[in-house]
Amino acid sequence: MYKTAKRLAAIALPAALAFTSFTAQAADEVNIYSYRQQFLIQPMLDAFTAETGIKTNVVFAKKGLIQRLKHEGKHSPADIILTSDIGPLYDVVNEGLTQPVESAVLDKNIPAQFQDPSKHWYGLTSRARIIYASKDRVKPGEITTYEDLADPKWQGRICSRSGKHTYTLSLIGSMIAHHGEAETQKWLEGLKANLARKPQGNDRAQVKAVKEGVCDLALGNTYYFGKMLTNDKNPEQKEWAMSVNLLFPNQDDRGAHMNISGAALTKYAPHKEAAIKLMEFLSKEQAQTMYAKANYEFPVRPNTPRAELINEYMGEFKEDQINLQEVAELRATAARLVDKVGFDN
Amino acid sequence: MQSQPDTRVTQPPLKTRSQYLFGWYSCTWSTALMVALPVLSIFYLAFFPTENIWPHLVETVLPVYITTTLELMLGVGVLSVAIGVCGAWLVTMCRFPGRKIFEWALLLPFAVPAYVIAYVYTDLLEYSGPLQIMLRELFGWQTARDYWFPDIRTLGGAILMLALVLYPYVYLLARASFLEQSTTIQDASRTLGCTPFQSFYRVSLPIARPAIAVGLSLVSMETINDFGTVDYFAVKSMSAGIYDTWLNMSNLGGAAQIASLMMVFVIILISLERIGRARQRQFHSADRFKKLTGYQLSGWRAWGATTLCALPVICGFIIPVWVLGRYALRNLDQLWTEDFLTHASHSFILSSCAAILTIVIALLLAYSKRLHKKRSLKLAAQFSSLGYAMPGAVLAIGVIIPLAAFDNLLNDITEQLFDTSVGLLLSGTAFAVVFAYVVRFLAVSVGSVESSLNKVTESMDMASRSLGYTPLETLFRVHLPLIKGGILTAALVVFVDCMKELPATLILRPFNYDTLATYVYQFASDEMLEACSLAALLIVLVGIIPVILLSRTISATRSS
């Protein structure tokens, strides 16, 4: 037994040393902490490596990366934070973990509403949160605004994702920005009263529920439509998508609520130059087109064509021009409203 | 660990008792402290909330969180004990068709991650799933409004899902305990007029109670810290509150407060159980190796036993594997990539390292507690087991804090001395992941090792010591062979748990580093079950190899 123990130690020790191997600090690489799934961003990253020869390294997680960055401090290997929503971008900037990026390329490619006034974060793609309405059971023009969702005539006919999901919180945040907290609470209560079921599932699941007759209206992000319509691995999703009309709300006033996926440069980025190069690359035509084609997101870069399929079904629409910084600031308030109203109960 | 020269040959001066004690004390406590560091970090964070979260919580959702969590724990606990104890008793003490298979098959659901089984059953039972489509065709129903069908995305659904994959904890420990029981006690109870059931209820069950309690507390803690399944089923338990406070209200301190409170709750729960059996203590020295004869069941009883054992295996393992397998086969050409081997090897290596480490630490803690019956050592063992009740992502933050602090201190020193920095040595490495596994799953192995060790009578120690063995030699030459079964059980449980672990792995892993679980999550988090079916299947398959191997070894501890 002693011998076995010694032998075990002899194996374990070198193994333990191998574990603590350093992240190679080569000059030509960019380290990314990503809140977006790797399979969504890898094609763009590969294109970047092909063009510049700069390698990219990714850690993906949906929570906790900001805390990791924070405690790693000035020796953190991370250069860039990528997110799928304004929320984490706002948080990471707020924690003082980023630095501003001055870049003519980014300024040219990214409209003002999708970048931080103080240059700490930039949006890379945008999406609208729209109403998916049953083709059979909702007449055209029957609903035109987010505010209408609280109308009692929709009682028992609306499906929603959890009120605590970051997309819902951003939408509620924008409602607070436009209408104030008290009125938004009333609206949320009205919406809650109209729900066909307890909030559950992701955006696709809501559209599916419309297809199945559980409800007639659902809230969802635009790119899910493209993803469902082209899903060959799970073809039944095409039927879900074909059962709904896409309604862009508030076209006669402020426009549809927009959100972004975005990027920020970390405060102590060890590969600052390469990292800025990557951010610029992601805002240029090639990457923007890839985003549009692969994920059905809207390019933020003006005049970059959207995916054909998106154009076919969505056309032009009016976007809410409010700066997302303002929306992000109201997310905590929105989360409290969701609790107060008991939206998820 | 303390080194001790061979006393039998050279007879060096004997160490004084206090020298002895100091060695074990310092070793035990420093290990316990290290393992408890992440939990302490979370306690520390709890002192710095960005604002006081409680008035809001108490006023709005806290009552819901609390009742939901209690209902969830109660439901999962009762169901797990029912399945686990019944199964363990039947396969150990009775003879019926298929018993040999069920011995290990009852463990299989353990290899299925809770989040995977949740996805699978939703897929199967929802409106557009095969079952409802079949029913609609059969009865000519048109829409969801024409008929009633149980909704899987409810509290009840979550309880069922969690119990199906968690009952093996109870089963494993209960079975190990039944196997270790001396036949003499049962024979005595039968000669005194007990029916087989009475003998089970009045003799075997009370003897197995500590083991069942350990299993139940593991189940409860897994239930409390689960987020994936309950979130998917829109069930608002305490962990939902933790994540909401942390992520949506940007109040990590407030979240740490809720987590700490949950921990206190768990401590109370465990101590209550311990108080309940404080004065119970039993050893079996004789007869452990006498072969169990078991009750021969026949007729409806035999088939009833078979059905009872088959049900959890079918629901918890065969159906999920069948659904995943169908998806995987349908898209095999698109799904299979070379990367799978890399992911699988990552999972395998991390999990094995963590399993070995936790066993070594658990032995140290449990044995030093046995050697020196000091309260403080007992406390050390309990203290280091706290990590288990913490939600994985929160625990990951707790791991990051001390590791990053160490790294940064090291860099400060090298910068002072050599004017160069060495970068982060531990943070963001596989070491961090293994460390998190150890912190998280130590409770599993400590519980199992302790309950095995407790069954070895102390006269063994005394005999061994008086024959000249040191405490360490006694451990290796007397105890280890005796409690091999318990140790293997613990190793198996930790290994499989690590294979399935997700939230901490996600946050702590190095760049470009996937395990099977993180790979599955990438797609599953987007409700793309079809895209990750193969990887999910692999987790299950890699998980069942050790399950089967070790289950055989455990049975062998009795029959040899």
Query: Which residues of chain A are under the pLDDT cut of 70?
Result: 1-27
User: How many CB atoms lie under 10 A from the CB of residue B478?
Assistant: 18
Chain B residue with the nearest C-alpha to that of A210: B144
Enumerate the residues of chain B whose CB falls inside 8 A of the CB of residue A162: 234
Q: Give the strand pairing for A55-60 and A29-34.
A: parallel
Q: What is the dihedral of CA B300, B305, B311, B314, to 10 degrees?
A: -100
pLDDT (0 to 100) of residue B318: 94
Domains A27-126+259-304 and A128-257+321-341 share a fold: yes
Test the B interface: residue of A20, A55, A75 with most B CBs within 10 Å:
A75
Enumerate the residues of chain B whose CB falls inside 8 A of the CB of residue A1: 476-477, 480
Contact (CB<8Å) A31/B511: yes
Q: In DSSP terms, which residues pair with A201 in a beta bridge?
A: none
In angstroms, the CA A307 to CA A153 distance is 35
pLDDT (0 to 100) of residue B152: 82
Interface size, chain A vs chain B, as Cβ–Cβ contacts under 8 Å:
170
For residues B158 and B231, the answer to whether their CB atoms sit within 8 Å is no
Backbone angles phi, psi at B302, to 5 degrees: -60, -50
In angstroms, the CA B32 to CA B366 distance is 11
Q: Which tokens go with A12? A: 């374990």
Residue keyed to tokens 């105890």: B479
SS (H, E, C) chain A: CHHHHHHHHHHHHHHHHHHCCCCCCCCCEEEEEECCCHHHHHHHHHHHHHHHCCEEEEEECCCCHHHHHHHHHHHCCCCEEEECCHHHHHHHHHCCCEECCCCHHHHHHCCHHHECCCCCEEEEEEEEEEEEEECCCCCCCCCCCCHHHHCHHHCCCEECCCCCCHHHHHHHHHHHHHHCHHHHHHHHHHHHHHECCCCCCCHHHHHHHHHCCCCCEEEEECHHHHHHHCCCCCCHHHHHHHCEEEECCCCCCCCEEEEEEEEEEECCCCCHHHHHHHHHHHHCHHHHHHHHHHHCCEECCCCCCCCHHHHHHHCCCCECCCCHHHHHHCHHHHHHHHHHHCCCC
| Of B466, B544, B443, B543, nearest in space to B498 by CA | B543
In angstroms, the CA A96 to CA A266 distance is 9
Query: Which residues of chain B are under the pLDDT cut of 70?
Result: 1-21, 144-145, 182, 273, 276-293, 334-335, 525-527, 550, 553-560
Chain A residue with the nearest C-alpha to that of B505: A61
In angstroms, the CA B357 to CA B431 distance is 12
Which of helix, strand or coil describes residue B296?
strand
Contact (CB<8Å) B247/A87: yes
Q: With a CB-CB cutoff of 8 Å, which residues 85-104 of chain A face chain B?
A: 87, 91, 94
Long-range contacts of B337-346 (CB under 8 A, 24+ apart): B339/B514, B339/B519, B340/B534, B340/B535, B340/B538, B342/B514, B343/B514, B343/B515, B343/B516, B343/B518, B343/B519, B343/B535, B343/B538, B344/B516, B344/B538, B344/B542, B346/B513, B346/B514, B346/B515, B346/B516
Give the up-direction half-sphere exposure of residue B11: CA atoms within 13 A in the CB hemisphere.
0
Q: How far is CA B7 from CA A86, A228, B420, B443, B458, in A?
A: 68, 74, 48, 35, 22
Q: Which tokens go with B495? A: 């290994």
pLDDT (0 to 100) of residue A21: 42
User: How many CB atoms lie under 10 A from the CB of residue A104?
Assistant: 8
Q: What is the dihedral of CA B418, B421, B425, B428, to 10 degrees?
A: 180
| Of A138, A146, A171, nearest in space to A253 by CA | A146
User: How many CB atoms lie under 10 A from the CB of residue B558?
Assistant: 18
Give the up-direction half-sphere exposure of residue A182: CA atoms within 13 A in the CB hemisphere.
0
Q: What CATH number should be reported for the domain whose range is A128-257+321-341?
A: 3.40.190.10
SS (H, E, C) A103-120: CHHHHHHCCHHHECCCCC
In angstroms, the CA B313 to CA A93 distance is 49
Contact (CB<8Å) B248/A169: yes
For residues A141 and A280, the answer to whether their CB atoms sit within 8 Å is no
Q: Which tokens go with A235? A: 């073809």
Q: Which tokens go with B145? A: 């409004």
Helical (H) or strand (E) element with B458: helix B458-466
Enumerate the residues of chain A whose CB falls inside 8 A of the CB of residue B523: 37, 39
| Of A287, A298, A297, nearest in space to A44 by CA | A287
pLDDT (0 to 100) of residue B8: 52
Backbone angles phi, psi at A247, to 5 degrees: -110, 120
Q: Which tokens go with B94? A: 């009775």
Question: Nearest-CA distance from B47 to chain A in Å?
Answer: 17
Question: Nearest-CA distance from A52 to chain B in Å?
Answer: 19
User: How many CB atoms lie under 10 A from the CB of residue B185?
Assistant: 16
For residues B136 and B52, the answer to whether their CB atoms sit within 8 Å is no
For residues B541 and B116, the answer to whether their CB atoms sit within 8 Å is no
Q: Is A242 exposed, middle or buried (0-12, 13-18, 19+ CB in 10 A)?
A: exposed
Give the up-direction half-sphere exposure of residue A334: CA atoms within 13 A in the CB hemisphere.
28
In angstroms, the CA B173 to CA B486 distance is 8
Residue B532 corresponds to which amino acid? C
Indicate if ipTM > 0.85.
no
Enumerate the residues of chain A whose CB falls inside 8 A of the CB of residue B518: 60
Of the candidates A31, A38, A61, the beta carbon closest to that of B507 is on A61
Q: In DSSP terms, which residues pair with A260 in a beta bridge?
A: A126
In angstroms, the CA B155 to CA A234 distance is 28
Q: Is B100 exposed, middle or buried (0-12, 13-18, 19+ CB in 10 A)?
A: exposed
Domain ranges of chain A: 27-126+259-304, 128-257+321-341
| Of A74, A258, A68, nearest in space to A173 by CA | A258
| Of A201, A198, A164, A192, nearest in space to A85 by CA | A164
Test the B interface: residue of A30, A32, A60 with most B CBs within 10 Å:
A60
What's the mean per-residue pLDDT of chain A? 88
Return the axis-axis angle of helices B130-139 and B114-125, rounded to nearest 10°. Answer: 20
Contact (CB<8Å) B427/A164: no
Structural domains of chain B, with CATH: 52-559 (1.10.3720.10)
pLDDT (0 to 100) of residue B74: 94
In angstroms, the CA A62 to CA A271 distance is 24
For residues A135 and A218, the answer to whether their CB atoms sit within 8 Å is no
Helical (H) or strand (E) element with B262: helix B252-276
Question: Nearest-CA distance from B89 to chain A in Å?
Answer: 33
pLDDT (0 to 100) of residue B15: 61
Q: How far is CA B207 from CA A180, A183, B174, B201, B443, in A?
A: 64, 62, 10, 10, 21
Enumerate the residues of chain B whose CB falls inside 8 A of the CB of residue A332: 248-251
Chain B residue with the nearest C-alpha to that of A203: B526
For residues B504 and B393, the answer to whether their CB atoms sit within 8 Å is yes
Sign of CA dihedral A93, A99, A100, A102: negative
Residue B11 corresponds to which amino acid? Q
Residue keyed to tokens 């390019």: A299
CATH architecture of A27-126+259-304: 3-Layer(aba) Sandwich (3.40)
Residues 6+ apart with CB under 8 A from B3: none
Measure CA of the first residue to CA of the last residue in chain A; give whole Å.
57
In angstroms, the CA B48 to CA B45 distance is 6
Backbone angles phi, psi at B295, to 5 degrees: -85, 130
Contact (CB<8Å) A63/B507: yes
Chain A residue with the nearest C-alpha to that of B402: A71
Question: Nearest-CA distance from B349 to chain A in Å?
Answer: 10
Measure CA of the first residue to CA of the last residue in chain B; give whole Å.
32
The alpha carbons of chain A give a radius of gyration, in whole angstroms, of: 22
